[in-house]
Amino acid sequence: MMVDLSSLNENQLNAVQWQEGPLLVLAGPGSGKTRVLTYRISRMIEESPDKHFRILGLTFTNKAAAEMRERIDALVPNAGERTLLTTFHSFCADLLRQHGHHQGLRPDFSILSQQADRQALLDEAIFKAGEKNNEVFYTGERLIPVITRLLDYSISIDKAETFLQSQNIREAPIISSFYSLYRQLMIEKNSLDFGGLISEALFLLEQKPSIKKQVHRIYPYICVDEFQDTNLSQYKILTHLVSPVTKNLFVVADDDQIIYQWNGANPERLKELQKDFEMKVLQLPENYRCPPEVIDIANKLISHNLNRSADKELLQANKSISKESPIHVHFFDEWEEEASWVAKDILKRHEKSLNKCVVLARTRRLLESIISVFEKNGVPSYLAMRKDEFVGAPMFWLHGVLRLANSRQDREQLRRICKSFYTLEGINLDVNDIMSQAATEDGDYLRAWQRAALQRSEISSETRLFLEQSIPKISDRLDFWKFLEDAFQWIDNLPESHPQNEEFFSEYKEEKETWDQLIMEIVAQYGRDQITLHLLLQELDLRSKAPKPPKHAVPCFTIHASKGMEFDHVYLVGLVEDQLPSWAAIKKGDDSHEMQEERRNCFVAITRTQESLSISYSSRVFGYTKEPSRFLKEMGLV
Ligand SMILES: Nc1ncnc2c1ncn2[C@@H]1O[C@H](COP(=O)(O)OP(=O)(O)OP(=O)(O)O)[C@@H](O)[C@H]1O
């Protein structure tokens, strides 16, 4: 089957048929950027059946990578062999598994995906620096944002002090010493946080030209989706991945959708990219998603941002004008009235298709409040957010065992499996006892935990059998797939033998479903035979454990989380000063970068609309008097 390009418009077709060299596809929301990217990759695979080169497609979230994979799989067979469609973080993890030994990393490094673990590591660095006794009290919790910033800007250890000084940070010398120790500890402990993954991969590419050349050979074509979100470290990685000879970099981006400035994204980066790669620029002004009336207010709003790409074309609506206006604006005295109006309106107009609606707000607080109002009004809804860890006892235990098998002296994992085993089996095992036992034998906490559990006479015969037979499989690294099979069988039989634990299993079904889904994605990316225990754990740590959304419920998203998505009916709530735009942006002033970013937030929110857009605001929110958002005026709505 040939990839059918007949549905593409002329500009899209030009982008899809782009052959060699650097190209920037600069286009607004709903203009088919992702479509163009996936069609181009598919076309290239189809046109080169005898070739072996692979195409690297980079995105920022696993969800976006999975979507890219799905779309390409639907267009061409065997796409998996010819592509690597992944996130920046996952690509860097892969690079470090293969070559991280140059920096003292072992391939089974773990990933610090939780803020608490990063803070603990920074506390250790601070302690090591001997600053605890100083007059100023430093804590990991307070300083972790500064360390994150240094990593996002890929600041090398020797430049950290100057960088911090340039940012007017008074404690620059001492914080840069913490930064140095923090990075050192990550290597020593064979654990990297997200920023560390990128920084260490970057260091590797900078230091080892042969690795860079190998990447150029394997991936002569590189594509990036949503480029506008790249922070400086990621951008630097990209500059190394692209061969300087062929410069085959294909990037899709929208400078009007940069909403991750706080995470290191920057409008200047798009300009830098065009200059660094001498890029040709192709625009896709036609919008296929929104009603023309929404396009009109979106164009009005974004024209107030002065820092946009020069010559950016206006969005043009492809849909036709409908009889009934798709935009509704509602004003209330109190936020509570606003929230209950949204609930009632959704029930009245869209009761049969709740999941086709979305409620968007600038902050989580507004969404949490609206969800409680929805509950009172009998509207099923859910808050869409990332979930870093499994939390129910069965999956918490299982994940802990796998991690402990991978990292044999991880006290935190031992603590977790002791805690969850108590919930599962009612047997309390002491972390310190197990650690001392392990110290007198082989130092292996997992084996010591197993011995301690088996010594207990209260243990059920089923559990005894499972621990005797299956823990060796994982602790001797024989077959973790078989271990997982046995473990799930054991867990499935637990509720019957321990009915008192029923409540702890309420989340199990949902978390097991998420687990199965994640395993399926990881297997699709790497192939089952290629997956080692450490690769599995690393990929799990990079992915959200959020459950599949319920079918008959209204999704409630922060604007940030709604990026790249589209919905029939959008309810944008809380459009008041101090919310959208935020208080912090107002403080910085009308021309500030922060205010421009807030305007882009509003732009992203309204351009998720496929059919109708309801905007609401109130004069009092959480007890405070609020003015209508300036963006209402800029859109010509008040
Ligand atoms: N040529 C086309 N004909 C019909 N529909 C199209 C065409 N191009 C894009 N679309 C539709 O427009 C919508 C937006 O496309 P896509 O998700 O690729 O846009 P995008 O530019 O990546 O959006 P965003 O920047 O908001 O993420 C999708 O529903 C897509 O199917």
Position with higher pLDDT, 236 vs 262: 236
Residue whose Cα lies nearest atom 12 of ligand 1: it is: 288
Report which ligand 1 atom has the smallest distance to the Cα of 28.
25
d(CA 519, CA 517): 5
Beta pairing partners, 625? 620
Write down the pLDDT at residue 154.
86
Query: What tokens were used for 387?
Result: 């979930």
Q: Cα-flanking dihedrals φ and ψ of residue 292, to 5°?
A: -55, -35
Res. 452 pLDDT band, cuts 50 70 90: very high
Nearest to 620 by CA among 344, 345, 323, 337: 337
For residue 632, give every residue at least 6 positions away whose Cβ sits within 8 Å of its Cβ, in sequence order, or none. Answer: 329, 575, 615, 617, 638
Length of the chain: 638
Average pLDDT, integer, range 361-380 = 96
Longest dimension (CA), the chain: 80
Looking at mean pLDDT, say which of 127-131, 269-273, 364-368, 478-482 comes out highest. Answer: 364-368
Residue whose Cα lies nearest atom 26 of ligand 1: it is: 29
Tell me the pLDDT tens digit for each residue of 176-229: 999 999 999 999 999 999 999 999 999 999 999 999 999 999 999 999 999 998
CB of 30 closer than 6 angstroms to any ligand 1 atom = yes
d(CA 358, CA 350): 11
Least confident of 63-67, 94-98, 416-420, 435-439: 63-67
CA 575 – ligand 1 centroid, Å: 27
CB of 98 closer than 6 angstroms to any ligand 1 atom = no
The residue to mutate among 31, 35, 312, 563, having the most atoms of ligand 1 within 8 angstroms of its beta carbon, is 35
Q: Cα-flanking dihedrals φ and ψ of residue 253, to 5°?
A: -160, 160
**545 contacts 514 by C-beta, under 8 angstroms:** yes
CA 35 – ligand 1 centroid, Å: 6
CB of 71 closer than 6 angstroms to any ligand 1 atom = no
Res. 132 pLDDT band, cuts 50 70 90: low
* Percentage of residues in the chain having pLDDT higher than 90: 73
CA 635 – ligand 1 centroid, Å: 23
Report which ligand 1 atom has the smallest distance to the Cα of 288.
12
d(CA 526, CA 544): 18
The residue to mutate among 8, 9, 31, 229, having the most atoms of ligand 1 within 8 angstroms of its beta carbon, is 31
**147 contacts 183 by C-beta, under 8 angstroms:** no
CB of 31 closer than 6 angstroms to any ligand 1 atom = yes
CA 564 – ligand 1 centroid, Å: 10
Query: What tokens were used for 266?
Result: 């920057």
Nearest 5°: the CA angle 120, 122, 126 is 115
Residues annotated within a binding site? 27-34
Residue whose Cα lies nearest atom 15 of ligand 1: it is: 32
pLDDT at 117 over 80: yes
pLDDT at 281 over 60: yes
Nearest to 34 by CA among 214, 225, 220: 225
Tell me the pLDDT tens digit for each residue of 589-628: 998 999 999 999 999 999 999 999 999 999 999 999 999 9
CB of 86 closer than 6 angstroms to any ligand 1 atom = no
Nearest to 224 by CA among 202, 244, 249: 249
Tell me the pLDDT tens digit for each residue of 544-602: 999 988 999 999 999 999 988 999 999 999 999 999 999 999 999 998 999 999 999 99
Write down the pLDDT at residue 552.
94
CB of 608 closer than 6 angstroms to any ligand 1 atom = no
Beta pairing partners, 494? none
Write down the pLDDT at residue 136.
61
Res. 133 pLDDT band, cuts 50 70 90: low
Query: What tokens were used for 620?
Result: 């009092």
Which amino acid, 198?
Answer: I
d(CA 449, CA 429): 8
- Per-residue burial over 322-352, b = 16 or more CB atoms within 10 Å of its CB, e = otherwise: eeeebbebbebeebbbbbbbbbebbeeebee
- Average model confidence (pLDDT) for the chain? 91
Predicted ipTM of the assembly? 0.96
CA 30 – ligand 1 centroid, Å: 4
For residue 157, give every residue at least 6 positions away whose Cβ sits within 8 Å of its Cβ, in sequence order, or none. Answer: 176, 179, 180, 183
Report which ligand 1 atom has the smallest distance to the Cα of 31.
21
> What helix, strand, coil percent values describe the chain, rounded to 5?
55, 15, 30
CA 602 – ligand 1 centroid, Å: 19
Res. 343 pLDDT band, cuts 50 70 90: very high
Write down the pLDDT at residue 504.
63
Residues annotated within a binding site for ATP? 27-34
How many CA atoms lie less than 13 Å away from 443 in the CB half-sphere?
A: 4
CB of 609 closer than 6 angstroms to any ligand 1 atom = no
CB of 32 closer than 6 angstroms to any ligand 1 atom = yes
For residue 297, give every residue at least 6 positions away whose Cβ sits within 8 Å of its Cβ, in sequence order, or none. Answer: 327, 606, 635, 636, 637
Tell me the pLDDT tens digit for each residue of 483-525: 999 999 999 887 655 545 566 666 888 899 999 999 998 998 8
CA 190 – ligand 1 centroid, Å: 42
Res. 349 pLDDT band, cuts 50 70 90: very high
pLDDT at 262 over 80: no
d(CA 515, CA 391): 12
Q: Cα-flanking dihedrals φ and ψ of residue 37, to 5°?
A: -60, -45
Write down the pLDDT at residue 62.
87
Write down the pLDDT at residue 344.
96
CA 605 – ligand 1 centroid, Å: 16
The residue to mutate among 4, 256, 289, 611, having the most atoms of ligand 1 within 8 angstroms of its beta carbon, is 289
SS (H, E, C) 408-456: CCCHHHHHHHHHHHHHHHCCCCCHHHHHHHHHHCCCCHHHHHHHHHHCC
Average pLDDT, integer, range 286-304 = 96
Distance of CA 175 to the CA centre of its chain: 27
Q: Reduced to 3 states, what is the DSSP secondary structure of residue 192?
A: strand
d(CA 424, CA 495): 9
- Strands 83-87, 609-621: pairing is unpaired
Residue whose Cα lies nearest atom 2 of ligand 1: it is: 8
Residue whose Cα lies nearest atom 5 of ligand 1: it is: 288
Write down the pLDDT at residue 182.
96
Report which ligand 1 atom has the smallest distance to the Cα of 27.
21
Write down the pLDDT at residue 93.
96
Query: What tokens were used for 433?
Result: 């006892």
- Per-residue burial over 366-388, b = 16 or more CB atoms within 10 Å of its CB, e = otherwise: bbebbbebbeeeebebbbbeeee
Nearest to 249 by CA among 13, 92, 40: 40
d(CA 333, CA 135): 50
pLDDT at 231 over 60: yes
Write down the pLDDT at residue 616.
98
Write down the pLDDT at residue 260.
84
- Strands 357-361, 567-572: pairing is parallel
d(CA 443, CA 42): 51
Q: Reduced to 3 states, what is the DSSP secondary structure of residue 301?
A: helix
Residue whose Cα lies nearest atom 25 of ligand 1: it is: 29
Looking at mean pLDDT, say which of 147-156, 165-174, 620-629 comes out highest. Answer: 620-629
CB of 7 closer than 6 angstroms to any ligand 1 atom = yes
Average pLDDT, integer, range 318-332 = 91
